[in-house]
Amino acid sequence: MQVISISSLKGGVGKTSITLGLASAAWAAGVSTLVIDLDPHADTTTGLGIKHDDMSTEIGTMLRKPKQFRLHEHAVTSGWIQTNHRNGTESGVLDVIRGSAKTSLFEKVTTRRREINRLMTLLDQTQGYDLVLIDCPPALNGVTRMAWAASTDVLLVAEPSLFSVAGTERTFRALDLFQREYAPKLRNSVLVVNRVRAASTEHKYRLAEMRRMFGKRMLDIQVPESSNWQQIQGAAWPVHAWPGDTASTAARTFDRLLQQLHQPQVSSRRALHG
């Protein structure tokens, strides 16, 4: 089971949007996926069409007593899938573990392994998914560190702007230090740049700067700024099902991003589904 944390120190750079884009690509490719919303704001939960009155156990409660819960028993089916079923369309597994403000109880940074390993303990008891996507809060706090400790991959998200580049450098440094001590399963940490405007001179400059700083850790795939992104997210809809050329270009970008991060499983599923 591959576990990818989507993370950044800076807020608003697109962690939730990238999580939703990857979830949409996994959904379209038929990859059995669990999305864990670890941000107390719970934007991913909303974006995946989980209703406000949903009563499923949220992640904050399960993190308090990780040995007592199996995530797959508390996951809810994404609203994307439910809508699709009503339309009579077949699709793969896309489950969600709801986020909630209770997660903020774990924000304090600690060096105690029992605390850091809470999410890892939950995931060790989880079955039935090929891919787990974790949307992290915008901070290097205890919650993000729990996500990193449980992950096989970390995808950092940055914008092509001065402060985002500086923040990414600090985040990579913190991640590398943390990995040695606390994240034995982590094998891959890379950067994707979001909200890129190809015609912007400032963006070209920042992209070249990031390439010099991060080398191969910066993925070639970049996510362009897209005019209808908020509309798609506001409708709690997968980008792969949204009509129009702009959405379908964004969907192809997320297909390539997923293939780069999750190659073996995607290709085997594609082969299975013809």
Ligand X SMILES: Nc1ncnc2c1ncn2[C@@H]1O[C@H](COP(=O)(O)OP(=O)(O)OP(=O)(O)O)[C@@H](O)[C@H]1O
CB of residue 12 to ligand X, shortest distance in Å: 4
115 binds, among ligand X, Mg ion, none (CB under 5 to 8 A by kind): none
When asked if residue 164 is in the footprint of Mg ion (CB under 5 A), the reply is no
Helix axes 263-273, 245-261, angle to 10 degrees: 120
The nearer residue to ligand X, 11 or 184, going by C-beta atoms, is 11
Nearest to 1 by CA among 152, 187, 193, 225: 152
Closest contact distance (angstroms) between CB of 115 and ligand X is 23
Site string for Mg ion, 35-64 (x = CB under 5 A): --------x---------------------
Residue 15 within binding range of Mg ion, rule CB under 5 A? yes
CB 202 to ligand X: min, Å: 16
Q: Cβ of residue 44: shortest distance to Mg ion, in angstroms?
A: 7
Rounded Cα distance, 261 and 272, in Å: 19
Taking the least distance from each CB to ligand X, the nearer of 28 and 42 is: 42
Q: Does 95 engage in binding with Mg ion (CB under 5 A)?
A: no
Smallest distance from the beta carbon of 38 to Mg ion, in angstroms? Answer: 10
How many residues touch Mg ion (CB under 5 A)?
Answer: 3
Out of Mg ion, ligand X, none, which partner does residue 121 contact, by CB within 5 to 8 A per kind? none
Q: Judged by CB under 5 A, does residue 16 bind Mg ion?
A: yes
Closer by beta carbon to ligand X, 24 or else 233: 233
- Rule CB under 6 A: which residues touch ligand X? 11-17, 39, 41, 43, 138, 194-195, 223, 225-226, 229-230, 233
CB of 247 to ligand X, least distance (A): 11
Binding site for Mg ion (CB under 5 A): 15-16, 43
